[in-house]
Each structure stands twice: as C-alpha cells, then as structure tokens.
Structure 1
Amino acid sequence: MIAVNAKKLAGLVGIALVLFFVIAQPGQAAGLVGNVVDFLRNSAESVITFVSSIFN
C-alpha cells in the first residue's frame, strides 16, 4: 500500500517538474525534446542497418 502511494507520488512530482521546466524555460525544453527525438531516430536507423546487414 505504501509503495503504491510512493510510486504515484513520484509520478506526480515528475510530471510537475516537467511542467515547471516547460513553462519556465520553453526554449530549452524544446531543444531537449528535439535531442531526444534525434536520438530515437538515430537509434532506429542503427537497428534497421544492423538487421539489414544480417539478412544481406
């Protein structure tokens, strides 16, 4: 019971921090999101290249 409440509280605190960051520094938040999207795209391209190399 306590662990569930702590997990829920941690999630709410995390969401509050993200919202504060977006409101207080929107330019930096947008840059961070752009970096995350670039990382995910590059990771996906690397996995595709790896799988393609296996089957060629």
Structure 2
Amino acid sequence: MDVKKLLTFAGIALVLYFVIAQPAGAAGLVSNIIGFLRDAAESVISFVSSVFA
C-alpha cells in the first residue's frame, strides 16, 4: 500500500472520529477556519484595491 494512500485514509478516519465524537467542536473548528479564510480574502482584496487606487 502506498504511503500517501495510507495517510489519506488515516486523515479521513481521524476527521470522521472527531465529527462523530465531538460534533459541536468540529462545527466550531469549521466555523473558525471559514472565518480565517474570509478575513484573509478581505485582506487580499483590500491590498489589491489599495495598489490599484
């Protein structure tokens, strides 16, 4: 078995365990990640707007 496949399956299993064992914690984590990505995108947009203003 390929190491990449093994790590992929282990990662999926870990995520599924976390979602099943602590669904509220998993939802909070996803919310935090989405918030971070939104803030990063807004920062990039602000930077590009400043460059071309």
TM norm structure 1: 0.92
Q: Deviation of residue 49 (structure 1)? A: 0.1
Q: Cα RMSD over matched residues?
A: 0.9
TM norm structure 2: 0.97
| Identical counterparts, % of pairs | 64
**Number of corresponding residues:** 53
2:37 to 35, 40, 45: 40
Q: Tell me which residue corresponds to 2:5.
A: 8
Structure 1 unpaired stretches of 5+ = none
Q: Deviation of residue 39 (structure 1)? A: 0.2
Structure 2 unpaired stretches of 5+ = none
2 CA distance for matches of 1:50 and 1:19?
37
Q: Tell me which residue corresponds to 2:20.
A: 23
- What code does the residue aligned with 1:33 have? V
Displaced runs of 4 or more, over 6 A: none
More helix by share: 1
